[in-house]
Structures are given as structure tokens and as C-alpha cells.
């Protein structure tokens, strides 16, 4: 068994370790910096609404692992 085959990065990690991934990360960082520095006032205005939007989204997607409505104690 060749150990180096198991250690090779796969999927999205492989993308970020390539030159294209590094370039994409730098471009996204530059765009994020520009948007945060030049449009911080717009973000500050929208922040309360984004927090209120996050509440129902967290409720919908966050409760998927609680098994609501299913029997959790089958030994009883």
C-alpha cells in the first residue's frame, strides 16, 4: 500500500492548494477589502436586517439534527 496516495488532497482542498486557488483567494480577499472599506455604511445599515434574517434560517437549518417528532428513547 502506498502511503502517499492516501495523503494527497482531494476536492476543494486540492483547488485551494493549486495556483488557481491561490489566485482566487487573493482576488476574493481584495474584493472583500474593497467592499468593506468603501461600502461599510451600507453594511452597517443592512446589519440589523441580516441578523433578523439569520434567526429563521438558523431555526430552519439548525434543527435538522434534533429529530423533532421522532422517538429518541426506544428502550422504554
Q: What is the pTM of this model?
A: 0.47
- Copy the grid coordinates of residue 23: 489566485
CA separation for the pair 67, 53 (Å, rounded): 24
First to last CA, the chain: 47
To the nearest 10°, report the CA torsion of 16, 18, 21, 25.
80
pLDDT tens-place values along the chain, 76 residues long: 555 566 776 777 777 788 898 999 999 999 999 988 998 888 889 889 989 998 888 888 887 665 655 555 555 4
Q: Can you say whether the dihedral through the CA atoms of 62, 65, 66, 67 is positive or negative?
A: positive
Phi/psi for 13 (5° steps) reads -65, -40
Amino acid at each position: 500500500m502506498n502511503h502517499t496516495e492516501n495523503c494527497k488532497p482531494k476536492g476543494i482542498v486540492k483547488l485551494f492548494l493549486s495556483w488557481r486557488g491561490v489566485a482566487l483567494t487573493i482576488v476574493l480577499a481584495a474584493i472583500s477589502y474593497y467592499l468593506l472599506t468603501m461600502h461599510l455604511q451600507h453594511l452597517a445599515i443592512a446589519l440589523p436586517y441580516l441578523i433578523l434574517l439569520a434567526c429563521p434560517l438558523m431555526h430552519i437549518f439548525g434543527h435538522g439534527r434534533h429529530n423533532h417528532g421522532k422517538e429518541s428513547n426506544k428502550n422504554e
